[in-house]
A = this chain, B = another copy of it.
Amino acid sequence: MSKVWEENFSYNAKNVRPSPVREMLAVIKQPGMISFAGGMPAPEIFPVDEFYEGVHILKEDGKNLLQYGTTEGYPPLKEFLAEWTSPRMGKVAALDEMLITTGSQQALDLFSWAIIDRGDFVITEDPTYLAALSTFYNHGAEFLGVPCDGEGMQVDLLPEIIEKARKEGKKVKFIYTIVNFQNPGGSTMTLERRKKLVEISHKYSIPIFEDDPYGYVRFDGEHLPSIFSLDDAGGVIYAGSFSKILSPGSRIGWVTGSKEIIRKMTVFKQTADLCTSTIAQALVAEYCRNGHLDKHIPVIIDNYRVKRDAMQESFKRHLEPLGVSWVKPEGGFFYWLNFPQINTKDLFKKAIEKKVAFVIGEPFCTKPGSGIHNARLCYTFPSPEVTEEGVKRLAEAVQELAQIATV
């Protein structure tokens, strides 16, 4: 190994945390493994034919689409999204209030560029999306975690958290929240708390990053107003994604917000990747223009609702008797399990032996040592039959661990 790299790595490179999900891929790909790990959409319902229907655009408009696109995004896609998202946004966003991103993951990076200085603090739900934590961490952020319950982030705790941090000289730069079917916790923030959160944002002049990749995948009940639509001061940025409602491989996300922040994120996108693939943008835009998006979302919802319910039944059969608990999510991709008295790191090793995989709880948490009794399980990918078998294996792993502990 050449020493030249090691000698020249940045602080970030020396301290970077690889994504536990991405790193687990090698393990997950072992033959016979049942994986509840990655947040992967079900491939059997990808709308392959409907997506393919739009490929003619690559011929008809090829000279334009093979060329550089604008950093701001492919105009027909932005125009579609501005209209399509308007019920949730409470308005039709202007083109300079929206930016197309290379997946909503990039929105996190560009927003971090615009807001975070090393040592700044970010308020997040605890636990939260681990690749958001990693992105903010790479940009030098530290965290103030807010616990969640069945109604989402406990926003009543915020004033005290913010005031204490400020007294200690900490700069609190923004609040990051996944309001719908939170990753990994599964809870959805109530309307009352959403309103309260906006009030707090105004009172303390702290902007909000509303991450909503799962919002359109609701199984039960009514959609709640977005935080973006509840705010009249322009201090909320909303990130959406095609990853869970069409295709993660397309890598198309978007952000809507006031033009000041969109402008800054656009300038950072110039140095991040210049523009998002025009080819991918055009194919997604054609799919949407052809009316497939609204028809396909109910297909996704029906498929995942069945899988969520099946996983819940499997939990009841195999894990509830062992004292394991969870919150039933109203939408999205994940169950967040609590295994009292078991460290899920140990459980993970045992589970891998049994050929079943999940993500351990700790990397979703803002403090080392928390989440050690938790696990995130994704139900969207495996069939109900496979889920039943996987949960059975997991229960066996729990029992074996318990036996070891009592020997």
Contacts and interface: CB of A to CB of B under 8 A. Distances in A.
Interface string A265-293: 00110111111111110010000000000
Contact of A65 (B11, B40, B105, B249): B249
A167 interface: no
A248 interface: yes
A106 B273 contact: yes
A49 B41 contact: no
A8 interface: yes
A340 interface: no
A91 to B, nearest CB: 15
B206 A8 contact: yes
Given A2-B235, A9-B264, A105 B273 contact: yes
A13 B113 CA distance: 7
Interface stretch (A68-76, A316-324, A370-378, A387-395): A68-76
A80 to B, nearest CB: 18
Nearest to A19: B270
Given A138-B113, A207-B8, A277 B102 contact: yes
Interface in A1-51: 1-13, 16, 18-19, 22, 25, 38, 40-41, 43-44, 46, 48-49, 51
* Nearest 6 Cβ contacts at the A-B interface: A48-B62, A2-B234, A249-B278, A66-B247, A4-B235, A135-B271
A205 interface: yes
A8 B115 contact: yes
Q: What copy number does this chain have within its complex?
A: 2
A77 interface: no
Contacts of A120: 10
Interface residues of A, number: 93
Contact of A46 (B49, B62, B108): B62
Nearest to A12: B113
Contact of A249 (B41, B48, B67): B67
Contact of A207 (B4, B243, B277): B4
A185 interface: no
B207 A271 contact: no
Interface in A244-274: 246-252, 258, 260-261, 264, 267-268, 270-274
Interface stretch (A52-60, A81-89, A221-229): A52-60
B67 A131 contact: no
29 contacts: A2-B233, A4-B205, A4-B235, A5-B207, A5-B235, A5-B261, A8-B173, A8-B174, A8-B205, A11-B117, A13-B115, A16-B268, A40-B68, A44-B63, A58-B283, A66-B248, A66-B249, A102-B276, A102-B277, A106-B272, A135-B271, A138-B271, A248-B274, A249-B279, A250-B278, A251-B273, A251-B276, A251-B278, A280-B280
Interface string A211-248: 00000000000000000000001110000000100111
Contacts of A69: 249
A55 B60 CA distance: 13
Interface string A305-345: 00000000000000000000000000000000000000000
Nearest to A134: B271
Which of A66, A103, A105, A109 has the largest count of B CB atoms less than 10 A from its CB? A66
Given A16-B264, A108-B271, A260-B2, A9 B115 contact: yes
Given A13-B115, A64-B43, A277-B277, A206 B4 contact: yes
B108 A68 contact: no
Contact of A55 (B1, B43, B55): B55
B48 A66 contact: yes
A300 to B, nearest CB: 12
